[in-house]
Amino acid sequence: MEFLDRLFNKPKIYILMHKDIQVLSGEYNEEKHRFEKIIHIFSYDHLPYSVRKGENGVSLKRLDHWFRWRGIPDYRVGLNVLLDHLDISDQRDLLDKEYGLSVSDHYWIREEKEHVSYADLNFFERPYDQDSFGISMFASSRFKSPKSGLHTPNNTLCGYQKKAWFQRNGVNVLLKGGTPIYQQEPVNEWLASEIANRLGIDAIQYHVEIYENQLVSVCDNMLDLDTELITAEEVLSLAKPDKDVFWLTPYQKTLTEMGIADAGKKLDDLLVLDFIMTNTDRHNQNLGVIRDANTLQWLKVAPIFDTGTGLGCLKEDNDIANFDEFYHYRLFNSDNILDNICVHLILNLKRYDFSVLDGIESLYEERLRKYQRLTGITDRRIDLLTSLLRRRIEILKHAQ
C-alpha cells in the first residue's frame, strides 16, 4: 500500500540551503511543513549543530524541531487576531511561504528542481510588505491583509510577544510589544540598554515608540548578510553536557574552544544585567554567539538582548514590593537560581563600577510616567518599580 501511495502521490524533494550551499536533501511534506526522510547530506559542516547525529548523520526528529522552532508559536500574544487579519487558519502555513527565510540566520529551503539564488531571495536586501504584516500583528481593529503580507521575514519570527520586522533606511528593525495589562517590557528593554551602556556591557540598543496605539521597543537587527546567530541551544548541542550538572561551565568551555576568548567576561555581563533587571525569561534561544555565515567562524558573543521580561512586569502591584525575595533566575537548565547563588556565579564582580548607575531609577520613573496615559500604569506601581530597581543595584554594590 505504501508503494502505491508513493507511486501515485510522489513526495516532493526539497533542499535545505545555507546561503547558496546545499546542505541536505529530503522528502518534504508541504502540509505538515517538515522533512520526513533524509535522502542525502551534501555538507555536514553547514548543518545546524542541533540536528547533527554522530559523525556524519542527521536526526530527523531534531531537524523537525529546529525547523518548526523558526516559526510563530501557538502561544504568541494576539495570534488569533493575526491569523484573522492574514486570512489563514494556522500560523505554520507561513513557515515555508517564503522558503523558510529568516533574518536571524541564512538557512532556507527550496524544491529540488527550483532554480533560485539566495541573493535574489534574502530579506536582508529584498524589500517586503512590512506594513501589512505589522498592522496584522498589532492592530486590534478589523483588517484584511493583502497576499503580500504573507511574504515577509516575520513568518520565521519566534517568541511570545507581538513583534514584527520593518525596514528603515536599509536596515531591518524589530518592533516588539509588551504584555497588554501593563506594557512594561518595552520600557524595560530601553532601561537594560541604558544600564548596559553605563556599565560598559555590550547590549542591543533599544528605544521606545508607539505603534498602533501600543507601546513597542525598537532595535536594529544585530545581524547582516554575512553573520548569523548561533543560539545557546545550538551551542549546547555541541557541548553535550550532562543533564545533572549546571550548563554554565560547559557552555563557557565550548565558547572558549571555538575561539571566543572573552566568554567568561561576557557571561559575567549577562549575569549582572539580568540580576539588576530581575530577568525571568533568559532561555536558550535568547543568548548565543555570532558566526560568520561564510567561513563558519565564531566571531563573538552576541550582544545581550531580550531583557524586557523583568522588574515584575508580569506581577500585580502588591507583589512587586517584595518581588526580589521570591525571585528565581532562569538560565540554561536551571529555573531556580536564588540571588546569593547568582551573585556567586559572577566571576569578577569587582570590575563593575555600580556608582555610574546612581540616579538611573529616576530616569526609569520618568520614562514610565511619559507613557502612563497609554499604559494605565499606576503611580504606586511606578514607585514600587523604581524602589525595586534601586534595591537590585544596592545588592550588587554590597556584594563587591
CB-CB contact of 37 with 27 (8 Å) = yes
- The answer to whether residue 250 sits within a structural domain is yes
- The answer to whether residue 291 sits within a structural domain is yes
Q: Are residues 183 and 235 in the same domain?
A: no
Q: Are residues 195 and 138 in the same domain?
A: yes
CB within 8 A of 312, min separation 6: which ones? 278, 319, 320, 323, 384, 385, 388
What's the domain count of the chain?
A: 3
pLDDT at residue 240, as a whole number: 93
* Closest listed residue to residue 268, CA positions, set 337, 348, 380: 348
Q: Are residues 135 and 184 in the same domain?
A: yes
- The answer to whether residue 105 sits within a structural domain is no
**pLDDT, tens only, 223-261:** 999 999 999 999 999 999 999 999 999 999 999 999 999
CB within 8 A of 11, min separation 6: which ones? 27, 28, 29, 36, 37
CA atoms of 70 and 92, how far apart (whole Å): 10
CATH of residue 325's domain is: 1.10.1070.20
Q: Are residues 245 and 379 in the same domain?
A: yes
- The answer to whether residue 214 sits within a structural domain is yes
Q: Are residues 40 and 161 in the same domain?
A: no
Q: Are residues 216 and 231 in the same domain?
A: no
Q: Are residues 258 and 363 in the same domain?
A: yes
Domain boundary among 187, 220, 253: 220
- The answer to whether residue 256 sits within a structural domain is yes
Mean pLDDT throughout 373-387? 96
Mean pLDDT throughout 277-299? 97
Domain boundary among 154, 189, 220: 220
- The answer to whether residue 299 sits within a structural domain is yes
Q: Are residues 189 and 204 in the same domain?
A: yes
Q: Are residues 240 and 372 in the same domain?
A: yes
CATH of residue 120's domain is: 3.30.200.120
Q: Are residues 239 and 132 in the same domain?
A: no
Residue 137 sits in which domain range? Answer: 79-96+115-220
Q: Are residues 199 and 345 in the same domain?
A: no
Q: Quick one: pLDDT band at residue 326, thresholds 50, 70, 90?
A: confident
Single-letter residue type at 400? Q
In percent, the amount of the chain with pLDDT more than 70 equals 98
For residue 359, the tally of other CB atoms under 10 A from its CB is: 9
The DSSP letter of residue 304 is B
- Exposure on the CB side of residue 339, measured as CA atoms within 13 A: 16
Question: In the sheet that 163-168 helps form, which strands lie side by side, from edge to edge?
Answer: 163-168, 171-176, 214-220, 207-211
CB-CB contact of 299 with 289 (8 Å) = yes
Q: Quick one: pLDDT band at residue 5, thresholds 50, 70, 90?
A: very low
Q: Are residues 328 and 249 in the same domain?
A: yes
pLDDT at residue 251, as a whole number: 97
- The answer to whether residue 202 sits within a structural domain is yes
**pLDDT, tens only, 85-119:** 999 999 999 998 999 999 999 999 999 999 999 99
Q: Report the mean per-residue pLDDT for the chain.
A: 95
**pLDDT, tens only, 175-215:** 999 999 999 999 999 999 999 999 999 999 999 999 999 99
CB within 8 A of 115, min separation 6: which ones? none
- The answer to whether residue 203 sits within a structural domain is yes
pLDDT at residue 3, as a whole number: 52
Mean pLDDT throughout 325-345? 92
